Amino acid sequence: MSFRTIATVDTSRIDVARDIADRDRLHKRLMSLYPDNLGSSPRKKINLLFTVDVPSSTIIFQADMPPVTSPLNDARNQYFTSVDTTEVLTEVTQGDTVKFQLVLAGLIRHSGTGKRTTVLDNKVMIAKARGSLGKNGINVSTIECIGTDEVVSEKRGIRYYNYFLIGEATVTDADAVATAVRQGLGAGRLWGSAMLFVSSV
């Protein structure tokens, strides 16, 4: 079970602007909405994923438990100007045609060294997305890149681009699709990458 929250923010606020400009700060802000007794690797334990739609001043995040948004949504704070949390339902079966959106980190891991380097090439990222989706129960028929978003954390030394990819596909493994939606695909889960959205056509 997973819960997805769509929250709008006031980007004229200094704290909001700083969080969006530094995704490590935003990750910590969102983790504050969940219990603090999760032990080591708390993000992984609740499968927190998030992404930012900067033009619409919207933060989308999901986890295996619903967030307690009141600290950021009360009359005094109003970090969130609106917030809506719903259960994520991935009701697809093998053979279904679906639409998808994937927020994929523009990073490639090199065999041998294991190091990741940034990528600034739509064709490379589309090929990477096809491969990742195919391994997770989604046989892509059409795919395109509709935009990018710079991901930065000065403290962590992070700087790369998210690629926003959309398309249509056929489901080859419904369980694998549900797991990918819940856990994300690719690198950068700590910094606002890897979210997968799937809906039936």
- Structure token pair of residue 38: 């999760």
> Residue 9's domain spans which residues?
3-87
Domain termination site, one of 59, 87, 115: 87
Q: State phi, psi for 187 to the nearest 5 degrees.
A: -85, 175
In whole numbers, what is the pLDDT of the chain averaged over residues?
Answer: 94
- Structure token pair of residue 101: 């959106």
CATH at 152: 3.30.70.1210
The pLDDT score that the predictor gives to residue 41 is 85
State mean pLDDT over 12-31.
95
Strand partners, 50: 61
Residues 70 and 132 both lie in one domain: no
Residues 76 and 20 both lie in one domain: yes
Residues 71 and 160 both lie in one domain: no
Pairing of strands 97-105, 158-171: antiparallel
Count of the separate structural domains present in the chain: 2
Residues 157 and 101 both lie in one domain: yes
Residues 112 and 187 both lie in one domain: yes
Instruction: List the alpha helices (DSSP H) in the chain.
Output: 14-21, 23-31, 42-46, 122-134, 174-183
Residues 82 and 162 both lie in one domain: no
In a domain, 92, yes or no: no
b/e for 73-97, b at 16 or more Cβ within 10 A? beeeeebbeebeeeebebebeeebe
pTM of the model: 0.92
Residues 124-165 pLDDT 10s: 999 999 999 999 999 999 999 999 999 999 888 899 999 999
Residues 28-72 pLDDT 10s: 999 999 998 888 889 989 999 999 999 999 999 999 999 999 988
The pLDDT score that the predictor gives to residue 121 is 93
- Structure token pair of residue 156: 């962590």
